[in-house]
Amino acid sequence: MERVFKKLKGDKWIWIIVILLSVWSILAVYSSTGTLAYKEGHGTETYLIKHFTIIFAGLVLMYFSHLLDYRYYAGISKILMIITIPLLLYTLLFTNSVNDANRWVTIPVINQTFQTSDMAKLALITFLARMLTRKQENIKDVKSAFVPIMGSVCVVIILIAIANMSTAIMLFAVSILLLLIGRISVKQIAYVSIAGVFLLTLVVLLGPRRQTYISRVETFMGKGEPDPDKEFQATQAKIAIATGGLFGKGPGNSTQRNLLPHPYSDFIFAIIIEEYGAVGGVVLAAMYLILMFRCIRIVTQSPKAFGALLAAGLGFSLTIQAFGNMAVAVGLGPVTGVPLPLVSMGGTSILFTSVAFGIILSVSRNIEELKQKGQGKLPNDDRKVKDKVIVGEIPAMA
């Protein structure tokens, strides 16, 4: 084990959490895909092998992402943003609707679907961290700093919101948190919050999925006559949780997996509680809380503002998404299509989540290397100057 961890740089606790979540994901997905396999005429092992392959590919991506110096992600984020906005537009305008939403692009040759919002989340958070770092000297200036930063945030979030409101709201919340950490004035953040809520409300009321959004909120709020069809998913998830008890029915013994439409993705947390009990649910939630704690620790130790903002933004994004998924499963929020990071069955979601973990670990690895060299943490007053120098070291990418 020591030999393995010598090759895995960065925060060891994050590596342990990633491995535990990956193993738990394989067990939960294998258990919850029985009905899907029966309907499509495949063996359950088919989905197990496919999911294991994606998890393995994600771990490989995470490993190579954490080896790359996190400062290079400043330049990569700019390239990603240039690709992301046209790709989101293309997804909305030219792709086929699946479940009343245009979220997926089919990759030629391999014929696999690709959810563009997964890349957009990573692109926006890394780009926002880069912009906040580069604009620190005139961060209070509206024209040179505030408008360019918020322009990119608003464009990406609105393009995502048209097809995927839950992801857009979570990403908007992460952006606000990054603005707070990045020393944007409270007054400007208040303006952003008001403008963001107004724009998202317009999408809800006037967008192509307005009926879906309004219906889900009304169902959650209990307005109008009860509709068993609309409440079916939430009801079955509550039954799974209620019958799980304290210690659960045991791995592979879920019954609600045969009734829930998406027990392997959107409602996998309900299946986990049914099989592993409330204890299993608490342990899983604790893993994400520990992850956030370790990310905050990386933020406080990072000598560079860019590294701190990267760890904070990606850490908040993963944690908010995780608890958003859990909240829906236990009936604390309207039904959404947000997966549980690194646990729900998926393709691009797992891969981009793995890259996000890799970037966080890259920041942590840099901190460890500085400590080994005896450089320690730089004073806060030196962060702005040092970050300007670091970004300048990679002119071809920045």
Q: What is the pLDDT of residues 67-76, one digit of tens each?
A: 999 999 999 9
**Cα distance between residue 2 and residue 145, in whole Å:** 46
* Position 221 pLDDT exceeds 80: no
pLDDT of residue 93: 81
On whether residue 351 sits in a domain, the answer given is yes
Mean of the pLDDT values across residues 181-187?
Answer: 81
Exposure string over 344-369, b if 16+ CB within 10 A, otherwise e:
bbbbbbbbbbbbbbbbbbbbbbbbee
Residue 80, token pair as written in the block: 């990603």
Between 59-68, 129-138, 277-286, 348-357, the lowest mean confidence (pLDDT) is in: 129-138
Please compute the mean of the pLDDT values over residues 159-173 and round it to a whole number.
Answer: 87
Judge whether residue 312 has pLDDT over 70.
yes
Give burial (CB, 10 Å; 0-12/13-18/19+) of 237: buried
Segment among 38-42, 148-152, 246-250, 354-358 with least mean pLDDT: 38-42
User: What average pLDDT score do residues 227-253 get?
Assistant: 84
At residue 382, the pLDDT reads 44
DSSP state of 42: -
Q: What is the pTM of this model?
A: 0.86
Q: Which residue has the higher pLDDT, 105 or 306?
A: 306
Please give the tally of structural domains in the chain.
1
- pLDDT band with cut points at 50, 70 and 90 for residue 111: low
State residue 109's pLDDT score.
Answer: 63
Query: Contact 322/349 with Cβ under 8 angstroms?
Result: no
For residue 224, tell me if it sits in a domain.
yes
In a domain, 99, yes or no: yes
pLDDT for 362: 94
Q: Say yes or no to pLDDT of 398 above 50.
A: no
Q: Which residues, 6 or more positions from 167, have their beta carbon under 8 angstroms from its beta carbon?
A: 117, 121, 160, 338
- Tell which wins on pLDDT, 332 or 298: 298
- Tell me, what's the pLDDT at 189? 83
What's the confidence (pLDDT) of residue 292?
94
398 domain residue, yes or no? no
Residue 152 maps to a domain:
yes
221 token code pair: 């709020």
Strand partners, 115: 104
Please tell me the predicted confidence (pLDDT) of residue 252.
85
221 in any annotated domain:
yes
Is 267 inside a domain boundary? yes
pLDDT tops 60 at residue 378? no
Residue 14: how many other CB atoms lie within 10 Å: 23
294 pLDDT more than 90? yes
Task: State the average pLDDT over residues 279-292.
Answer: 95
Mean pLDDT confidence for 145-174: 85
Please say if the pLDDT value at position 193 is more than 60. yes
What residues make up the domain containing 180? 2-392
pLDDT at 77 over 70: yes
Instruction: Give the model's pLDDT for residue 395.
Output: 33
pLDDT of residue 226: 60
Query: Where does the pLDDT of residue 381 fall: very low under 50, low under 70, confident under 90, or very high at 90 and above?
Result: very low
Residue pointed to by tokens 């590919």 = 57
